[in-house]
Structure 1
Amino acid sequence: MKYIAKIVLVGLTIVVSFVSAIVETKAAEKRMVIYASHPTKLVDYFVERFKEKYGNIEVDLITGGTGELLGRVQAEKNRPQGDIMFGGGSYTGGSAPELFLPYDSPALDGISPAFHDPKGYNAPFDAFTMVIVYNKNLVPEDEVPQRWSDLTDPKWKGRVVHANAAASSSAYAAMVTWIEIGGWDLVEALAKNQIIVNSSSIPFTQVGQGENALGVTYEEGAFKWVPSGNVGIVYPKDGMALLPGGLFLIRDSPNPINARLFADFVLAHPQQSALATEFLGRRPTHKDVKLNPAMVRVDELNLIKYPMEDAISKKKEILAKWKKVMMRTR
């Protein structure tokens, strides 16, 4: 009997190993639904390469702002329709554990520890920082703001476009950074000059097209317009935060295997390298992938410590204050 048991055990081991090998090259599910706040071009790029590796999977892509997509995940909580939320701040998963699954994978071994999620929910696909973007035809070179505080100058009233922190995770990150630098006084002084919009892509688009002189935006958005020759980028000297972007596995999703495979896939070295070379303005999180040489190195930035715990635990309170600031300054 012991001999037979050993044969059975060995047989099972071989079967499990064989099945595991199949999963490595072919997804066990035929579908995946991604909710993405990233640009469609970027998401499509990695989805196509994922399909090349794992087979012809049907991928549905639903795009929107981070706040909008998070609201959708919340509304679908009792019957989830999506598998992945791709985009948003790294704190999103930890702030809503009822909506997302923890992400614990060997793929994280290749990611710089600085970008690991202390709460264990994020698959840190990329890193970003917020910058000032300006139109060279509308802002004289000797007047280009060099600090966040420079944007409070009355001459820029109505000429600085910025996304609503309640709708955009990158705009929220910028606001938390300002609170750290100069408190709510700085936030309110900046708001007095700002045109507030509901999409994080509007600031760099309007500045690039010459509709506004200045904008607060994420780094990749600013880089989109650099080839035009009309746009310049400023890395504020009074402080910046470097933060991982978000990728989260939706709890009780219909295709959980594909979701986890995709998260592991985009964190792997080949995809991180492609991120750095193909998407200027995106910062890879993999410790063995070099930054695109066209971008400013981390050691050249005045980085501050971002208060992640407060940004998560006090988000409702912070956004309530922000709403009052907007009402006072509109």
Structure 2
Amino acid sequence: MKHVFSYVAGFVPALVLAAGIAGAAEMTDGEKQLYEAAKKEGSVTWYVSQTTTEFADGMCNLFEKKYAGVECNVVRASGQVIFQRLVQELQAKAVQGDLMSTNDDGQMLQLKEQGALAQFAPENLKDMVPVLRDMADKENYWITSGVSPLVIAYNTKLVTEAEAPKNWTDLTDPKWKGQVAVGHPSFSGSVGLWTIMMNDLYGWDFFEKLEKNAPQIGRSVADGHNLVVSGERKVALAPLPLILSDAAAKKAPIAVVYPTDGALLPPSATGILKDAPHPNAARLFENFLLGPEIAEYFSKDYRYPLRAGVPLAEGMRPLDSYKTRSIETTEGISKLPDIQEKFRDTFGI
């Protein structure tokens, strides 16, 4: 695996891969044909903001283990950075990536409307959790490649369970002044959707009150999580898998609050670029994302597996056991530019 570029480094997954997992499932005839074609291309380049750098590296390692002879190159950055990089490549007619994974499916819709995506229905779609499969594009221009609810994290050494915020509006309580961390909607796709959700629920007054608490504004949604783990901030907007994984595997002083007014449920999406330099390797990789190896990899790291019948990690709550909210793709596209501008004006960053 060649690690091409990384903008934000996240946590190192506390996950020891069992020997032989990657080769556990035998290839179907269609998979074998794709593999043979991919070997002739030699590599696949994956643009990704969906996961942390180290987690994406782990996924590539599994891919290379199963499909020897096809190198997996990771290009990892925050959502808006990756998207702008791709937009520039499209404008220059010099696309270098083969496929992209993002937490903002609005980006996929924009690429589809520009004619920049290729249609492909992976063979493994048939084995997906139905509700996750149905969140994807109906014309097969992108798949659902993950779901990572955004919740509230708190440092257990600095905050008791009773003291911890119970809902999003609690973050504006003056007692949290100088102790809150959030990402930036101009850099993180999922933070952009969260900002839209909060504005829809409470109006911009929520952010004006939050600004008075002098929050730490990062770029990636993972930044707040890292600040809570280090104790530099007491509470933060953070992805559920990072919190659960660090708490269980690393024994980090971090715990989760499922907000009573609803966790944001942003579906991650993966699409193949129409002008991909390695189209067969891209199709093989996209199908692999929905396969048993990645489902098990997700589950072991406290992520929701995409494949039906794969058990959740111990202590992980089913999606239907707490309140979640989603933002429609078209709504996200139409509202995001104004939201980003208002955020910059309010927080001065």
TM-score computed with the length of structure 1 as normaliser:
0.85
1:174-213 equivalences under 5 Å are 174-193=194-213, 194-213=215-234
SS of residue in 2 equivalent to 1:124: strand
**1:117 aligned partner:** 136
Q: Read off the aligned partner of 1:267 and give its amino acid letter.
A: L
**1:34 aligned partner:** 46
* Cα distance in 2, alignment partners of residues 198 and 40 from structure 1: 14
Q: In the alignment, which of 271, 277, 289 is matched to residue 310 of structure 2?
A: 289
- Residue by residue over 1:220-262, the C-alpha shift from the partner in whole angstroms, topping out at 9 and shown as x without a partner, is 2222431335111111111123232122212301011111110
**Change beyond 3 A, Cα 1:218–1:135:** same
**Change beyond 3 A, Cα 1:156–1:275:** same
Q: In the alignment, which of 13, 17, 23 is matched to residue 33 of structure 2?
A: 23
Determine if contact 2:196/2:336 at 8 Å carries over to the other structure. no
**Change beyond 3 A, Cα 1:224–1:209:** farther
**Change beyond 3 A, Cα 1:107–1:155:** same
Q: CA deviation at 1:314?
A: 2.7
* Cα distance in 1, alignment partners of residues 326 and 222 from structure 2: 26
Question: 1:240 aligned to 2:240?
Answer: no
- Residue by residue over 1:144-173, the C-alpha shift from the partner in whole angstroms, topping out at 9 and shown as x without a partner, is 111111111012122101110110112112
* Cα distance in 1, alignment partners of residues 150 and 212 from structure 2: 19
**1:256 aligned partner:** 279
Determine if contact 2:141/2:271 at 8 Å carries over to the other structure. yes
* Cα distance in 1, alignment partners of residues 120 and 203 from structure 2: 34
**1:168 aligned partner:** 188
Question: 1:147 aligned to 2:167?
Answer: yes
Q: In the alignment, which of 320, 324, 327 is matched to residue 299 of structure 1?
A: 320
- Residue by residue over 1:74-101, the C-alpha shift from the partner in whole angstroms, topping out at 9 and shown as x without a partner, is 1111110111223332332112222433
1:307-318 equivalences under 5 Å are 307-318=328-339
TM-score computed with the length of structure 2 as normaliser:
0.81
Determine if contact 1:111/1:286 at 8 Å carries over to the other structure. yes
**1:215 aligned partner:** 236
**Change beyond 3 A, Cα 1:60–1:105:** closer
Question: 1:108 aligned to 2:125?
Answer: yes
Q: CA deviation at 1:67?
A: 1.0
Structure in which a larger fraction of residues adopt helix = 1
Residues matched between the structures, number: 309
1:258-277 equivalences under 5 Å are 258-277=281-300
1:76-115 equivalences under 5 Å are 76-77=89-90, 78-97=93-112, 98=114, 99-115=116-132
CA RMSD of aligned residues (A): 2.4
* Cα distance in 2, alignment partners of residues 149 and 73 from structure 1: 36
Q: Read off the aligned partner of 1:260 and give its amino acid letter.
A: R
SS of residue in 1 equivalent to 2:210: helix
SS of residue in 2 equivalent to 1:32: strand
* Cα distance in 1, alignment partners of residues 305 and 199 from structure 2: 27
SS of residue in 2 equivalent to 1:283: coil
Runs of 4+ in 1 over 4 A off after TM superposition: 19-22
Q: Read off the aligned partner of 1:122 and give its amino acid letter.
A: W
* Cα distance in 1, alignment partners of residues 326 and 123 from structure 2: 27
Q: In the alignment, which of 61, 65, 69 is matched to residue 78 of structure 2?
A: 65
Determine if contact 1:171/1:217 at 8 Å carries over to the other structure. no
**Structure 1: tracts of 5 or more residues without a match:** 1-18
Q: Read off the aligned partner of 1:33 and give its amino acid letter.
A: T
